[in-house]
Amino acid sequence: MVTSNDASDFNRQQEHPGTTLASLPPAPSSSTSSSSSMSTAGPTTMPQGPEATSSSHNTLPESTGETPCDVKTAKRTAKQPVVATRQQRPKLAGFEFYEKILGSPKYVVAPMVDASELAWRLLSRRHGAQLCYSPMFHSSCFTKDPKYRKDSLQTCPEDRPLIIQFCGNDPKVLLEAGLLAQDHCDAIDINLGCPQAIAKRGHYGAFLQDEWDLLKKIVSTLHQNLSVPVTCKVRIFEDMAKTIRYAKMLESAGCQMLVVHGRTRDQKGPLTGVADWKYVKVLKEIMKIPVLSNGNIMSVEDVHRCIEETGVNGVMTAEGNLFNPFLFEGINPTSWTVALEYLDIVEKYPAPISYIRGHLFKILHHLMNLKSNGPLREQMATSHSVADFRAIVKQLEAKYEPFHEGLQRWTGEETNTEQPPESEPDQPTYNLALPPWLCQPYIRAPPEVHRQKMVDSARAAADPNREKRIFLDSDGNEISRKKMKKMRRVERRPNRAGLLPSDPKREPSRRFDDICKNTKLDCTNPMGLKCDHQLCRVCCRVRCYHEDRDCAGHKLFIKTRRDKAKRLTEAEKLEQQQQQAKAVDGGKDDDNAAAKDGQEPKQLMEIES
């Protein structure tokens, strides 16, 4: 859906499909506006573009009829209000905003860090998504880093309706971020649901849900000063009554749409479990704003069941969309079809390689888990271009399309037999509904299984008679599990530390064939390639310490620092000796002066007599 106020943005971007709105010249704004649409008095005009930092809050002269393009802004003082409004359209609220601006969306793609970028949003919109969220952006980075802000605001005319989500705990910083982003979206969302450890360290997301005064201030500040509505995405409390009070508090502070994830803050990772729709149903019945549900969505049937059981206005999905972006259409396409379409969009709207690789691993998840596809999985992990990814997907298509078309029979492991064997075929290893080459949801094990596994692991670790797993290097020497993981990681990703293999200037890739030459301890650690003494770092540091040496390869400059310390000590001693000598000379001068002072009175007395 495209709203009328964004028509100018669309016209500006029709000839620049891969650019951000911020990189284009700002469009003139209308000089008239409805006073009823302003959330606060004294409106100002926001310059369009992410480069608008502190100057984006400047007020324009009211006596002139010039547009923002014709007026030079002055530096804003600390006493000037931070207020901005859109003159292109009134600011709607609640259901009016949900229906007229968003278009009453039922199918919603969730905000996903490093995943819901422009290319993925466009793919989802092509296949049923009616509303998309941006990835979660950190409000502090968004306001301080122009490059981060420009990359975050990548969009195009087809990317509407769009809600941009921010995280943070400072009302002023969140407001500044919202002012910079409000001209590029239809609403600003506050992340109050992230349960991850990074959110705990950064003090945002679900770890703010106990600080109601702060949340009320954040929501009300954005509601009163932004020209677009403010929405919130939250998690529930175990106490139903507290959850109700929490939601009502956000609504009274100015939240215009609430997304409820029916899991608590502690339900994450292997303890995720099932979202509780009872909380969502109760909140929908008492709230006077639109309510969306998040959680337990793995197919379009789950969407319809959720709406029927809870009565919510729409349903949001994250993980279900990542594994099957065609979910809202109710189909399970071949994984290579989805992957190739996504790569086509990426070539038009570029995305970071890490984002592309992450999406492909989820789309091809069930195929890549097959042992026979291990080499392709390793190849994808080390690929760094769209062409390489496309070649891998093409290999999978050539390998599994005959099974999909029925030309060959799939019995769990691939076979080149054109016709099924005469004897009774083996039972297939995939479930009855979907073979592994079709996009399908990822099913997590119940939390009870994980808890039992942890108990069994603890019991096995406490058993003194348990068999320990032995790890060996290429020469058969026993090494630790940590060293083995490091060896495999480096061998799997040799391009991280240097140039690509095709570059003639590339240094030889790091290998662990050479072992530390410390024969006294029979050290089995890998030898440093640049070590002056052909030792590992630990042994090299010990030798340099005891034998007073340096190692440029390991950047150990013990001898140099000791020599420097000796020179400084000698200089200090010399300086002390000089000061002592000056003190002795000064004492002699004082004695001579005192003697002269004693002789002068005697001479005066003799003269007087």
Residue whose structure tokens are 């993925």: 120
Measure CA 456 to chain center: 34
Nearest to 115 by CA among 344, 355, 346: 355
Q: Alpha carbon of 309 to those of 194, 297, 306: distances in Å?
A: 25, 13, 5
| Token digits of residue 464 | 């003194």
| Token digits of residue 169 | 């705990």
CA gap 106, 125 in Å, rounded: 12
Q: For residue 184, give the DSSP letter.
A: G
How many degrees, rounded to 5, is the angle at CA 31 between CA 27 and CA 37?
A: 100
Q: Alpha carbon of 334 to those of 154, 325, 347, 366, 384: distances in Å?
A: 29, 12, 21, 11, 24
Residues carrying an active site annotation: 194
Contacts of 238 by beta carbon, 8 Å cutoff, 6+ apart: 264
Q: Alpha carbon of 346 to those of 9, 149, 389, 458: distances in Å?
A: 22, 20, 11, 46
Strands 556-557 and 550-551: antiparallel
Contact between 296 and 97 (Cβ < 8 Å) = no
Residue 428 CB coordination number (10 Å): 13
Please state whether the peptide bond connecting residue 161 to the residue before it is cis, i.e. omega within 30 degrees of 0. Answer: yes
Contact between 6 and 338 (Cβ < 8 Å) = no
